[in-house]
Each structure stands twice: as C-alpha cells, then as structure tokens.
Amino acid sequence: MLSYVSGVSAKPLLGDTIGADFDRTVATHGDRLALVDRAAGRRWTYRELSDEIGRVAVGLLELGVRKGDRVGIWAPNRAEWTFVQYATAKIGAILVNINPAYRTHELTYVLNQSGVRTLVAAATFRTSDYAAMIDEARPSCPALVDVILLDSPSWTDLAGHQPDPERLAGIELSADDPINIQYTSGTTGFPKGATLSHHNILNNGYFVGEGCGYTHEDVVCIPVPFYHCFGMVMGNLACTSHGACMVIPAPGFQPADTLAAVAEERCTSLYGVPTMFIAMLADPGFDSYDLSSLRTGIMAGSPCPVEVMKQVIERMGMAEVTICYGMTETSPVSTQTTAEDSLDRRVSTVGRVHPHLEVKVVSPETGLTVPRGEPGEFCTRGYSVMLGYWEEPDKTAEAIDGARWMHTGDLAVMDDEGYLNITGRIKDMVIRGGENVYPREIEEFLYTHPDVLDAQVIGVPDERYGEELMAWVRMRDGATPLTAEALREFCAGKLAHYKIPRYVHVVAEFPMTVTGKVRKVEMRAAAREILGR
C-alpha cells in the first residue's frame, strides 16, 4: 500500500469570507464572552467585539486603505491585534504579520517586500523600542503612508469611529482573495511571505476547532503568538468560527501568567509549543493552580516529546489534548490527532490527514510515493495550500509543484492506518559514515534520562565519518551536568552505536524563534566554534 491518503468529511468546507463567518457568530452568540485580555483587564462579548472591529475597519477606510492594500501589524499579543485582524478581513486589506523579534533590518525588508501602506505597531515591548526602529526604517520604505502606534492618539483616532455596517457591506469580497501574508522564519536568506486567502485560513481554523470538539461553551487560552498561524488561525479563527472565547494570558508567554489564566478564566483548552508546556510543568507554583477545567488543547509548532505529552495529560488533566502538524504555507494544519486516538497514537504520531486534504510521502530522490512504513518527504494538497509566496513566483514554484502539491521539506513515515510520524527535516538528517540518522529518534530517547529536561541533536563535521552527532541538553534543576562519557553509558545497549552522540553540550536555553521552534541552524554554527571546526 502506498503512503497516500485523503481526508473525507461529512462537514463541507466553508465558502464564506472571514467577515461573513464572524458576523454569523455574532448573530448567534452576540451576548456570549468572546475575548479576554488579561493584561489590559478588559473583556468583550461577541457583540462588543464586533463593534470594536467595526470602528477599526472604518478608521482604516478613512485613512484611505482599500481592498488589496497591505496593512502591517507589529505587536505582541493583545486585544488590538485581534481587532486589526478582523477589521482588515472586513475591508479586504491584506494583513501582514510582522515578527515581534524583528529588528530594523528585517522590518525594512518586510515592509518593502510586501509594500505595506499602513503599519499598526506597539510603541515598545520588553526591550524592543518599536517606535524608534520604525523611525529608522521609514525613510527606506516609500510605500509606507501611515504609522499607527497603539496606546497613542493615532490609535485613539483610528479606533474612535462609529461602526458602519452598511459601508462595510458595500465592499465586494471573495473567499479566494488574499487576506494575510505571513513571513516564514528565513533560516537561510530573507524570509518569504506566504500569502493566504480567507478560504485558506478560515477553513483551517474551523477544522482545527472541530478536531478539538469546540462549541460555544469552550474557553481557549492562547499564549502562542498571534503573528503566527498558531495564534491567529488555530487560536482566533478556531474560536470565532465556533462561538468560543479567546483568552490572552499576557502579551508574551510567561508560565505563571498562563497557568493563572487557565485557572481563573476556567479555560477548557490550552495551546503551546512543547517548550511552553515544559516551562509550565516546571513552574515552581504549578501545583497551586486549579487546572481542573481543562479538557483539550493543542501541542504543535515542533516535534512533541513523548514524555512531555504524557505529563500534559496526567498532570494538567488535558485528556483530549491533540497534536497538530503543519506549516505556515499550509494555513497551517495538515494532520491532527483526535480525542478518540489511543494514548500511544497521540504521543507517537501527528495524527491523520485533516478533512478535505490529501497527504502523500514521497522519495526525495525520485518524487515517487513510497510504500507505507518507508520514510520520505511529507507533501500535502488541498484548500489549505497557500496562494504562493508574495511576488516570488520562482520560490513558489520550488515549493508547490505543477500538480499543486506543497513540498514541506519534512521527513515522515505513514503507517498502515494512515497515521503519520514526523522524523525530522530533510536538511537536519545526519549522514554518519553512510548511515542515515534521524535526530528526532535520539532526542526522544534522551528525554527518558531522569536528569534531562530537554534535548536537541545536531550533526557536526567530522573528518572520519563525514558527520558526527552532538547532543545539546538542558538539565533539570540541581542535576549534575551530563558528560559525553555519562551519556554513552546511558545509551549503551539501547541505541545502535552510530546513533550515540559523540559530543554533549549543556545549555540553559536553546536558540529559539518567537514561535518556540529550535533554531538548529544557529546550533550548528555555534557547534563548529565550540568544537573548533
């Protein structure tokens, strides 16, 4: 049997725009709580949220923003992010998500590459002076007309208009219109702008919510960044398409803030990347929080360690927690586990194909679909695949083939029942002495070491074998730092000799993206210096 499967569903795709779907939710659940911003101490019903969005939408129109214009947003998680997300969707402007970690050089590139006309930004956040960086970048950004700073008179003016449903109703929109540009992490070269439509992200958010069993009774804690699909699609759009409540625990992730939000808002669902769950489970006050309201949630963004998943279920009570797998270019989710899946399936796979999508695993060398059980590149096709990279047709053609299959660059194995396991990135695979070594397998094993809190494995240059393995580890509090010799003893007889890391590097933190993905490209560069290569 070949590694191909398609997702059947009794529920049809949504044919609406984001605005039309939101309006339907407001009509049905107008008096229900829609959004809680804990840091601001504010909360909105769906009807109140609709009014806020309407005010911002009219404000953008008054600035001269029109359908197809790009509106950038550069801010941490806060209610205004959500207002702008839905306001731009209402008027057909294309929201450009800007990574809060960017600095002037990256900001300038993104503003120019996407042609942002209007930028909404926080003035500052933590150590970042966004206003100063915008001033520095602005002379090099000829398309940029207006800058709106949150918590300033410019925002008060923008959001101070009266909602005008008739004016918004006169804007002709299609579900296939581009509505969002999200820049990929850009581990090599400049980031690329994945361009997504209403149809892409509304449906993906809706079916993620279906996978979590959401109804209007659910309260979803969203500590993951809005600038990424995890926050704005799997979080916001999953909630608004089901009438559920969105909870912003803090502008940026803090374990204690997130745990407090779950306990005090009685959240039924919690999102996070594995490093976030690891941090929450390790929080000194963990046992003092009442997490009994939790039912489900999503762990995604990077491979989910088995041991962490088990603790999330056992200690946090998230019996129906799901694993999602995807990428920005696919809106993002392609596969998801379900509450009905066995614990073994939920801790060892990324689930099965999402409704209305196709998945296949192909040989990176031949492009042919491989038999079940054999590793290859994960490819997906369907409504979720992006329109393309913004104004980069050549790079789009490299990622999406002539049959509209998105080539993810991830290595996967599909079993006989259609469950998929992600074994790593093609570029992360280590070839040691002619043996293909998949770091994920070794990382999972290292999690079983009682003193290891987190582990990442990379390949480093080696004269004899071409590449050798190096483990970067974070130790539990009070544990003796792991040595290469001690690691070899722990692995002996349990891992094949060529899979045992030759080098060990103990760190307090891994280099990370804002979304919680480990930057192995930085680790490999640092390792060369550490080892004198």
Residue 430 pLDDT > 90: no
**pTM of the predicted model over 0.85:** yes
Residue 480 pLDDT > 50: yes
Mean of pLDDT over the chain: 94
Average pLDDT over residues 388-405: 97
144 to each of 116, 120, 347, how far by Cα in Å? 6, 11, 46
Average pLDDT over residues 180-202: 86
Residue 436 pLDDT > 80: no
Q: Residue 108's pLDDT is what?
A: 94
Q: For a pLDDT cut of 90, what percent of the chain falls above it? A: 83
Residue 512 pLDDT > 90: no
User: What is the tens place of the pLDDT at every residue in 72-131?
Assistant: 999 999 999 999 999 999 999 999 999 898 889 889 999 999 999 999 999 999 999 999
The stretches of 32-91 forming alpha helices (DSSP H) are 46-63, 79-91
CATH of 43-173, one of 3.90.660.10, 3.40.50.980, 3.30.420.40, 3.40.50.300: 3.40.50.980
User: What is the tens place of the pLDDT at every residue in 260-305?
Assistant: 999 999 999 999 988 899 999 999 999 999 999 999 999 987 767 7
Residue 186 pLDDT > 70: no
Range of lowest pLDDT (83-92, 234-243, 419-428)? 419-428
Domain with CATH 3.40.50.980 in the chain: 43-173
Residue 404 pLDDT > 60: yes
Yes or no: domain 429-531 corresponds to CATH 3.30.300.30: yes
Q: Strand pairing of 245-248 and 219-221?
A: parallel
CB 343 within 8 A of CB 318: no
C-alpha–C-alpha distance, residues 200 and 329, integer Å: 10
- The crossing angle, in degrees rounded to 10, of helices 198-211 and 18-29 is 40
Q: For a pLDDT cut of 70, what percent of the chain falls above it? A: 98
User: What is the tens place of the pLDDT at every residue in 2-51?
Assistant: 999 999 999 999 999 999 999 999 999 999 999 999 999 999 999 999 99
194: left (phi over 0), alpha (psi -120 to 50) or beta: beta
Average pLDDT over residues 232-247: 98
User: What is the tens place of the pLDDT at every residue in 320-375?
Assistant: 999 999 999 999 999 999 999 988 898 889 999 999 999 999 998 899 999 999 99
Residue 187 pLDDT > 70: no
Q: Residue 120's pLDDT is what?
A: 98
CB 491 within 8 A of CB 445: yes
C-alpha–C-alpha distance, residues 71 and 64, integer Å: 11
Q: Residue 189's pLDDT is what?
A: 62
Looking up tokens 């096709």 gives: 381
Q: For residue 107, give both structure tokens.
A: 């900001």
Average pLDDT over residues 416-434: 87
Q: Residue 188's pLDDT is what?
A: 46
Q: For residue 242, give both structure tokens.
A: 């089901």
Q: Residue 431's pLDDT is what?
A: 81
C-alpha–C-alpha distance, residues 79 and 302, integer Å: 26
User: What is the tens place of the pLDDT at every residue in 140-170?
Assistant: 999 999 999 999 999 999 999 999 999 999 9
Confidence band (pLDDT; 50, 70, 90) for 425? confident
C-alpha–C-alpha distance, residues 321 and 264, integer Å: 20
From 344, 345, 346, 349, select the one nearest 318 (Cα to Cα).
346
Domain with CATH 3.30.300.30 in the chain: 429-531
Q: For residue 73, give both structure tokens.
A: 């947003």
Q: Residue 269's pLDDT is what?
A: 98
